[in-house]
Chain A
């Protein structure tokens, strides 16, 4: 049936139909970018559909990782005694669980340190998904409006600043990473207070822009948030200077690459900052 139908359709009509759909998508894009609430209605529906899967997936990873890394590799070793095999499997699973717990403990300790250092209030959340495409660098966490997450809240991790809440649903939220080109953080070098703006450039990388050519910047120096953008709190670690490329004479600014302190590709737990001060 499909075969016959597809042959009777005039190609010009399909091309016309596609053009109409393309124009519609352009109009929708422009409209939704100016009216974020428009996209939010449908987004809530989609996220409520995906959330249980994502949540289940993030929970089951602890055991799946152990099995994948330590069991599958051993499956083909035929000589193993079956009793020993069972014991090994059991111990391997246990071991990987302990290993995961140890990692989680370290991560949470790091987060706790940074939270205590800055007297932040808030709560931890698990990362349940990464951006499905490479264009927007974002993560999804398992806390949403129900837990008190609001658009504009800062999100940190043990190693420093992660990003900002840009979208909330009932049970989950989207965090735009500081490595996304839509992101910018007013920052300075910890040692000499030279100021600039840490911008995302995609591919989980950042650069430090608007650093005057006359200022001395060395590789390895720590870059921290200045708090002057009114978005992020002061003193959050952003990364270290990776490379400095002074521009030709007459140019105002130098090109500085900053290696982010956070490994965005392997984020698992984050801390959502709801406020500052003693609990």
Chain B
């Protein structure tokens, strides 16, 4: 397994670079043009692509590492997004064993649920962490408003996923592998 990882180091660096690029796009570039609520989570689409394309330990490790980059870019906690992306990978991996993801609607639905599940995983991972390092007057988020924001994010990301996956397929290779059973 380790030899295989070493062989894939160039790919690892390529995906890492893409990860950083997407963090920059969704945190700095796109908010200049779009209302913050409408900024898609491009990193998720990359995770979805990796989950389809690399159904292996390498793919899981990549998703974990991209989550680590996202955590580091925020500098508050290290780990929650890594865990959330790993769960997304696992979910897509399990479903792709059963279905062929060639259908537009199926990909869209998959992306939508992957974003939702990933956010739930994030919420669970951070639920019990000390919420306030500086403030001692912390509260819980308004779940109603958070739900709307996350629903919008999932919807926009899902709608974009089939198109971005096509772009990825063109430059990085087709993501569909026929190992569904």
Contact = CB atoms under 8 A, between A and B. Distances in A.
Interface stretch (A112-120, A183-191, A212-220): A183-191
Contact of A181 (B28, B93, B139, B173): B139
Given A47-B75, A134-B149, A151-B134, A22 B83 contact: yes
B112 to A, nearest CB: 15
A26 to B, nearest CB: 6
B145 A201 contact: yes
A15 B90 contact: yes
Contact of A25 (B57, B76, B79): B79
B155 to A, nearest CB: 13
A50 B20 contact: yes
B56 A14 contact: yes
A18 B86 contact: yes
Interface in B57-91: 57, 60-61, 64, 67-83, 86-87, 89-90
Contacts of A133: 41, 70, 74, 81, 122
Interface residues of B, number: 76
Contacts, number: 238
Interface in B16-36: 20, 23-24, 26-29, 31-33, 35-36
A204 B149 CA distance: 10
A6 B55 contact: yes
Given A15-B90, A29-B79, A181-B131, A6 B54 contact: yes
A184 B24 contact: no
A54 B32 CA distance: 11
A8 B143 CA distance: 43
B177 A25 contact: no
A61 B32 contact: yes
A34 B142 contact: no
Given A25-B83, A128-B28, A197 B145 contact: no
Interface string A256-268: 0000000001000
A22 B87 contact: yes
A152 B134 CA distance: 7
Given A132-B70, A133-B41, A181-B131, 6 more contacts: A2-B173, A61-B32, A134-B149, A151-B134, A174-B76, A204-B36
19 contacts: A3-B179, A7-B177, A9-B56, A15-B93, A18-B86, A25-B64, A25-B67, A26-B79, A34-B130, A39-B75, A43-B73, A46-B69, A50-B24, A57-B28, A128-B28, A140-B27, A182-B135, A201-B142, A209-B139
